[in-house]
Amino acid sequence: MKRLNLIDKVVFLVNSIAATMLLLSYILPYVSPKSFAFLSMLSLAVPLLIIFNILFVLYWLLKVKKQLLLSLMVLGLGYSHMFSLYKFSSSKKVDTSENISIMNYNVRLFNLFEWIPDASIKQKLVDFILDKNPDILSIQEYHPDETIKFKEYFKYEKLSGNKVKNGQAIFSKFPIVNSGSIEFPNTSNNAIYADVVKGSDTIRIYNVHLESLRIDPSVEKLSNETSENLSNRVSTTFKIQQSQTEQFLKHKAQSPYKMIICGDFNNTAYSYVYKEVRGDLQDAFVEAGNGFGRTFNFKFFPVRIDFILVDGSFDINSFKTYDVQFSDHYPILAKVKLH
């Protein structure tokens, strides 16, 4: 520090704070939000902290200063976090007739209230899904609409609401032999499941929609909200998500079938709820994706809150996030094959 000029000393101070926060974030998946809700909020900032620390490494590298070791060591310790944010390898792509294609998509009520000022969005969204033609389609914020036809699919939906019916839905090209809903208390969010039959195999499909953070990503809305209100709301939501996750896991533990979990977790891959839901399952993006795993249209940094998880009965042969703006979420599609 003695050989640094004043500006570099300030930079290194900020660097040290960012590195410490990133290091602290590595324990977040093991910290219960009910015990430390405020600390758990840090999970939302992990992508930004990773990017900041990479920039600090580059800064000190250009300066040829040993201070680069701080962020470099912290990034090295959490290399798995890096892979959850960005996959450097090319996408895995194995085409076989035995693949099962699975799409997860939060459709935001098919733009019912015209959040996107384009009257054709609903049809564009539906046409996109029909073009990709997934075998399994998991939808959050689903709204029934007589003009929307997903032919050749079996369907299970669970809706709530009086004026505007909405909820979750699972569409399957394979017969659905059993289905149901895990009702989360005091919310329209829930988890649903459908047991589908492919050949001699029964596969359980879960569609999980955990409590929403209700954060408007626009700069204007964020700037008008006090940090205290934002902090309190997010902390409360994380506690609710933990309770919902515990309820879901009890149901999941009773399933005798091979399993696929899709959903909008409203939390990142660095969170407690993601770790708990994933358990020993495979994350399709981590196994076969590439680039940023961004699934939510947050303007400031890439956020991945939508997931496709499968158990060890499956090989993950491909994964793709589609950069289409028909909702505030981006659709994800994985292709898997049973062993």
Read off the pLDDT of each residue in 209-227 and give the average, rounded to a whole number.
68
Nearest-10 Cα torsion for 39, 43, 44, 48: 110
pLDDT surpasses 80 at 8: yes
Place of tokens 């070791």: 69
Q: How many CB atoms lie within 10 A of CB 197?
A: 14
Q: For residue 57, give the nearest of 268, 140, 49 by alpha carbon.
A: 49
Read off the pLDDT of each residue in 2-31 and give the average, rounded to a whole number.
93
pLDDT surpasses 80 at 88: no
CB 190 within 8 A of CB 182: yes
pLDDT of 163: 87
| 175's tokens | 């017969």
Q: For residue 322, give the nearest of 124, 171, 57 by alpha carbon.
A: 124
The widest CA-to-CA distance across the chain, in whole angstroms, is 71
For residues 217 and 240, the model is more confident at: 240
pLDDT surpasses 50 at 219: no
Alpha carbons 266 and 167: distance in angstroms, whole number: 15
What stretches of the chain show up as alpha helix (H) in DSSP? 6-25, 37-40, 46-63, 68-77, 79-85, 121-132, 219-223, 227-252, 272-278, 284-288
One-letter amino acid identity for 241?
Q
pLDDT surpasses 60 at 187: yes
CB 222 within 8 A of CB 213: no
Read off the pLDDT of each residue in 293-309 and give the average, rounded to a whole number.
91
pLDDT of 213: 85
pLDDT surpasses 80 at 91: no
pLDDT surpasses 60 at 169: yes
